[in-house]
Amino acid sequence: MLDNVDTTLEHAISAHESGNLVLAGEKYLEILNLDPKHPDANHNFGLIALKMDEQAMAVQFFKNAIEANPTVTEYWVSCINTLIELKDTKNAQIALDKAKEVGHVDEVFEKLSSNLKLLSQEIREAAEVAAE
């Protein structure tokens, strides 16, 4: 089974990189049917969901990837960025705090934190204007 998953992942990534998102998605789902917690397949399928403008679905796949392997910076960045795009400041902050708890302190997390603060400020200001 492991050889099959590894080979299928290679095919999926190759299709993904060449822009064949349908084939890549099918291959990632094949892997997830065998191993629902497979971190790379979850993350990469989440990236495809983003391309299809399905941010909420993407977040769930990113969360699955993080649960399976919280040490991968890219999984956290994808998840937090998407939550920020969705203007879900509460969950973006929770994810950012959890990422820091497990040791992610790279510069990219400082940028995400700044983006989140700006978004929160914009939302507050918009709410104040709307209340007037």
**Could you tell me if 21 and 48 are in contact, meaning their C-beta atoms sit under 8 angstroms apart?**
yes
Q: 2-6, 34-38, 41-45: which range is least confident on average? A: 2-6
For residue 59, the model assigns a pLDDT of: 98
Mean pLDDT (whole number) for 1-13: 86
For residue 132, the model assigns a pLDDT of: 84
Mean pLDDT (whole number) for 74-78: 98
Check whether 2 has a pLDDT greater than 70: no
- Mean pLDDT, the chain, whole residue set: 95
**Could you tell me if 55 and 82 are in contact, meaning their C-beta atoms sit under 8 angstroms apart?**
yes
For residue 1, the model assigns a pLDDT of: 53
Q: How far apart are CA 19 and CA 2, in angstroms?
A: 25
Mean pLDDT (whole number) for 62-75: 97
Q: What are the pLDDT digits (tens) for 77-122? A: 999 999 999 999 999 999 999 999 999 988 999 999 999 999 999 9
For residue 25, the model assigns a pLDDT of: 96
